[in-house]
Amino acid sequence: MAGVAKSLPGLSSIAGAVLRSRGGEEVRAATLWAKQPVLFFVLRRPGCVLCRDTAKKVYGARGAFEAAGVRLACVAHEWLPAEIAAFNTDDYWPGEVYLDADKAFYKAFSEDGKSVRRQSALTLLNPLNSAWGRIMAARKNVADHNTTGDGTVLGGLLLVRAGEGGVAYAHAEKTFGEFPEIEQVLADVKAALGQ
């Protein structure tokens, strides 16, 4: 399975996380996957052109994920109401979005499970940085984007099996906007669930 992390985060690192819905309701993370697997899009920044492009691709494949029995949800590490409102639309991610104020999902990607992985925005000063190719491609799909918020926190994808089944798949963003193609994600998710 290409793109699968060498070591998967432990379920305990995220199960107890208290998330907040757009409506303000507090939700214990484990309740989201109590009955079915959930693929979490761990969002770097809601206004980011790369993040919006990835969100469109992941949510655009919702039918295929649902056919595999997988629910989709997104977590954000900061709650900028106007940015979340612009992101949580039919254009990008019309589904569930939660605030992960303690950044539990973000910390799950780190080696020690306690720190948040970051990348310096200064890396974008290098015109040969691979992110520039992704940015140019994303701009063809995403007309409305901005740089509001902390874009240095790296995100990724986490698939959690139903109940106490644990984390089945993880893709940690290594550089800005670095995600596998959606077809590969879907194949990896199905393989991780034994389908």
Average pLDDT over residues 46-71: 97
Q: Is the pLDDT of residue 158 over 60?
A: yes
Residue 138 resides in a domain: yes
Read off the CATH number of the domain in which 122 is found: 3.40.30.10
Is residue 7 in a domain?
no
- Output the pLDDT for position 126: 65
Please give the structure tokens belonging to residue 52.
């919006």
Domain annotation covers residue 139: yes
Residue 1 lies in a domain: no
Q: Is the pLDDT of residue 78 over 80?
A: yes
Q: Which of 11-20, 52-61, 125-134 has the lowest mean pLDDT?
A: 125-134
Write down the pLDDT at residue 3. 42
Tell me what percent of the residues of the chain surpass a pLDDT of 70.
92
Range of the domain at 90: 12-192
Q: Band the pLDDT of 186: cuts 50, 70, 90.
A: very high
Question: Given this model, what pLDDT does residue 122 score?
Answer: 60
Work out how many domains the chain is built from and give that number.
1
Please state, rounded to an integer, the average pLDDT across all residues of the chain: 90
Higher pLDDT pick, 123 / 21: 21
